[in-house]
A and B are shown apart, each in its own frame.
Chain A
Amino acid sequence: MAETLLRVENVCKHFGGIYAVDGVNMNIREGGIWGLVGPNGSGKSTLFNTILGLQHPNSGGIYFKGQRTNNMAPHQIYDLGVVNGFQIPRLFPSLTVLDNMLVAARGQQGDGFFNSLFLREKWQKQEELLTDEALDILELIELRKHIFSTAGELSGGQRKLLEIARALMAHPTLLLLDEPAAGINPVLGKKVFQKLQDLSCSGMTFFIVEHRLEILFEFASWIYVMDKGKTVAEGNPEDIVKEAAFYQAYLGKE
């Protein structure tokens, strides 16, 4: 069996009296697409935020490759290889599509203070390589012709696509995507998932929140179901649809 990549142990996150995440356990192994579903407000995005270090859990432990990440800053978690795409895109609106992509690239030689001033030849070469990579990804999501538009000029769906594309520039080991197909036309949405699946074959792992279950279930190999801050069911897509808890989460108890 593949190695455990991300372990979530009894994680709780409360906002005053709201138990957004309430004792969640998960075990995500290397490779493949892992799904997370559940009704609105069930705590999916909050769980993602705790994994990313954007919010610190009140209790419990989060381990990436065995290392406890609870109290790490987001940029340190990025360094470990965990990257995300936000549910509501958080692009840099007045930067161009190209610059949005390049900001995210991992291992840049020119993003340090002294390097940017004195190692110009070195990072200029890297800029060209990263640009080629950015162009390939933008080609796929049909944004290449907008490369010099600012992110603020893009349509809602295009922003969502750029959010995903930007995360891919960061060469994640584990990529968390919060509703990647929301607002994207079904044909392109499917193409994006296809691409993610190809990438997962080359060793990337995906953990995806998605309300469009038909797409997610087609590609995911394991599904977690959350309801009211708790995981209520898990299994592969064929089995999960037979679980009573899965229906109860969406429809409420009889």
Chain B
Amino acid sequence: MDPSMYLLDLVVFIGIFGIMSLSLNLEFGFTGLANFGKVVFFLIGAYSYALLSQAGFPFYLCLIIGALIAAVFGFLISLPALRLRTDYLAIVILTSGEIIRLIVKTEDWIAGGDWGTSVAPAIALPGASAHAGILVNIGLVYVCLFICFTISRLLTNSPYGRVMRAIREDEVAAEALGKDRAKYKAQILMLGSAMAGLAGGLYVQYLHYVLPGMFLPIVTFTVWIMVLLGGPANCWGALLGAALVEVFDRGANLAKDLLTLPTDASNLQYILFGVLILLVLLYRPQGLLKESAVKTRATERVRSLGGAVRNKED
């Protein structure tokens, strides 16, 4: 492949997975909701996009409705989330994701079963070059990424964001201080799922096809690595993590063609991912970027009054 196409393709992937990473960061990084089923919502957005676009809806409606359907599933997941401990919740979400994937895989009538189905690109430019097509995709993906990033930043730098962190730290104390934790968890899971659904739609319209094999649990773990590497509870960290993991993934992919290894080289990137996550957890458990404090006028106010001796703000 033409190297410049390879790079542009990488840029698209960073954008799409940046949205995934931002959404898990809202759920896990800020609110402490360990969502081990990110791929479910990615899948729902993807299949919604495929089916809606086949039914003749314009691409923006396919994206928006796909995100909304994913949000409804996010709400449904929030119901057990209120009753179950984090570890049990993880198992529930993980398995329900596999169930949904196996349904679309075995039920041929939904979207071609195991073979999948083709998906029309969001913005078709008849006769345009491949470069032009990919540049249009970059535009579309990064507009969506920008919207998700802005919402994340506004939400987390507000009293609402303070409550998210409080729920992460001690949900019982937050509840005793008047915060309806059920409501907050449901809202965050709905928003996070909508963002993942949006990413799913963008993904399949870019690749022009959808099939169950694209939604293996490894996708969830990849997004987790992005968040843990970049730094949980930091929106820039989520983007940094997405970029690093995608670059790393490509690098490992290229390397495996050049190396001759005694083992099956196609697993190289998974092995390296495992090593990477171990290194992060051992040497930089807080991630590359540290958690950003809640930024509202409260901190400026203290400064203007000359309140603090120590100043830990960055």
Residues of A in contact with B (beta carbons under 8 Å apart): 52, 54, 73-75, 78-79, 83-84, 86, 90-96, 98-99, 102-104, 106, 108-113, 115-117, 120, 123-125, 127-128, 130-132, 135, 144-150, 166, 170
Q: Which of B278-305 contact A (CB under 8 A)?
A: 291, 293-294, 296-299, 301-302, 305
Is B310 positioned at the interface, with any CB of A under 8 Å from its CB? yes
Contact A54 B180 (CB under 8 A): no
Partner-A contacts on B (CB < 8 A): 151, 154-155, 158-163, 165-166, 169-170, 172-181, 187, 291, 293-294, 296-299, 301-302, 305, 307-313
Contact for A148 among B297, B301, B305, B311, CB less than 8 A? B311
Write the nearest CB–CB distance from A178 to chain B, whole angstroms: 12
User: How many pairs of residues, A versus B, come closer than 8 Å at their CB atoms?
Assistant: 141
Given A95-B165, A99-B294, A123-B158, 19 more contacts at CB 8 Å?
A54-B176, A74-B172, A75-B176, A75-B180, A86-B176, A90-B176, A91-B170, A92-B166, A103-B179, A104-B177, A110-B159, A116-B155, A116-B158, A127-B297, A131-B297, A131-B298, A131-B301, A144-B307, A145-B309
Closest A residue to B188 using CB positions? A113
Q: Which residues of B contact A79 (CB under 8 A)?
A: 178
The reply to whether A92 and B173 form a contact with Cβ atoms under 8 Å apart is: yes
Given the complex of chains A and B, what is the CA–CA distance between A54 and B160 in angstroms? Answer: 23
Measured CA separation A203–B302 after assembly (Å): 29
Are the CB atoms of B175 and A75 closer together than 8 Å?
yes
Instruction: Give the distance to chain A from B258, nearest Cβ to Cβ, in Å.
Output: 44
Q: Given contacts A102-B298, A113-B187, are A75 and B312 in contact (CB under 8 A)?
A: no
A–B Cβ pairs within 8 angstroms, 18 of them: A78-B177, A90-B176, A94-B291, A95-B165, A106-B178, A111-B179, A116-B158, A117-B155, A123-B159, A127-B301, A130-B298, A131-B301, A135-B307, A147-B308, A148-B310, A148-B311, A149-B310, A149-B312
Which 7 pairs across A and B sit closest by C-beta, in order of nearness? A116-B160, A78-B178, A110-B159, A116-B158, A92-B169, A90-B173, A111-B159
Decide yes or no: A117 and B308 within 8 Å by CB, A83-B177, A95-B166 being known contacts.
no
Assess the B169–A75 pair: CB atoms within 8 A. Answer: no
Closest to B313 in A: A148
Which chain A positions have C-beta within 8 A of B310? 145-146, 148-149
Please, which residues of chain B bring their CB within 8 A of the CB of A91?
Answer: 169-170, 173
Q: Which of A90, A95, A117 contacts B162 (CB 8 A)?
A: A95
A95-B165, A98-B298, A148-B308 in contact; A54/B172 too (CB < 8 A)?
yes
Say how far B210's CB is from chain A's closest CB, in angstroms. 31
Q: Closest chain B residue to A108 by CB distance?
A: B159
Q: Is the CB of B299 within 8 A of A98?
A: yes
- Residues of B near A135 (CB, < 8 A) are 302, 305, 307
Return the contact of A74 from the options B159, B165, B176 (Cβ within 8 A). B176
Q: Which residues of B contact A166 (CB under 8 A)?
A: 177
A54: which B residues are within 8 A, CB to CB? 172, 176
B177 contacts A103, CB within 8 Å? yes
Task: Determine if A96 and B161 form an interchain contact, defined as CB atoms under 8 angstroms apart.
Answer: no
| Contact A102/B160 with A124-B297, A147-B308, A148-B312 known, Cβ cut-off 8 Å | no
- Say whether, besides A84-B176, A111-B163, A117-B151, A95 and B169 are in contact (CB < 8 Å): yes
Closest to B233 in A: A94
- CA distance in complex: A147, B298 (Å): 11
Q: Which of A103, A104, A108, A166 has the most CB of B within 10 A?
A: A103
Chain B's nearest CB lies how many Å from the CB of A71?
A: 15
CA gap between A106 and B312 in the complex, in Å: 26
B311 CB to nearest chain A CB (Å): 6
Output the least CB separation between B54 and chain A (Å): 33
B305 and chain A: residue at smallest CB distance: A135
- Expressed in whole angstroms, the minimum distance between the Cβ of A64 and any Cβ of chain B is 15
Contact, CB under 8 Å: A96 / B312? yes
Is there an interface contact between B301 and A116, defined as CB atoms closer than 8 Å? no
